[in-house]
């Protein structure tokens, strides 16, 4: 079990040292391990983040109706969104039966029957 995200610390007592600050100094690149621990497999991380420029996609579909922003690592080794302007208002569902989401937010547009 993981530690809670909060901790009650007595800040009123005098001369009590809590050793704040240095505990995360030696942890490096743990974001990937934290994300992989919450997934059933680490493969979806590689689906979202493009490793090469030709693999970049505006959106990535991970499930039947779940879409996420495509990501890549830039030249400064920072994680960037491929198309930051793309939002839930730009997405249109492919079928009327599913709940389509983009980054966890439901599509605002309704399903439109394609012309015959």
In a domain? residue 8: no
Is residue 65, in this structure, part of any structural domain at all? yes
Find the largest Cα–Cα distance for the chain.
78
11 occurs within a structural domain? no
For the chain, the domain total comes to: 1
In a domain, 37, yes or no: yes
In whole angstroms, give the CA distance from residue 69 to residue 83. Answer: 7
67 in a structural domain? yes
Q: Which domain holds residue 70?
A: 23-85
45 in any annotated domain: yes
**Structural Rg of the chain based on CA atoms:** 21
For residue 19, the number of C-alpha atoms closer than 13 Å in the C-beta half-sphere is: 4
Q: Which pTM does this prediction carry?
A: 0.63
Q: What is the pLDDT of residues 22-68, one digit of tens each?
A: 666 666 666 667 766 766 677 777 788 888 899 999 999 888 888 98
């Amino acid at each position: 079990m993981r530690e809670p995200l909060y901790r009650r610390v007595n800040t009123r007592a005098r001369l009590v040292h809590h050793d704040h600050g240095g505990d995360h100094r030696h942890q490096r690149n743990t974001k990937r391990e934290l994300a992989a621990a919450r997934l059933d497999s680490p493969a979806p991380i590689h689906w979202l983040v493009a490793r090469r420029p030709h693999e970049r996609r505006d959106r990535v579909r991970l499930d039947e109706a779940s879409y996420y922003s495509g990501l890549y690592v830039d030249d400064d080794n920072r994680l960037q969104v491929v198309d930051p302007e793309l939002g839930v208002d730009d997405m249109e569902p492919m079928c009327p039966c599913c709940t389509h989401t983009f980054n966890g937010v439901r599509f605002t547009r309704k399903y439109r029957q394609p012309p015959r």
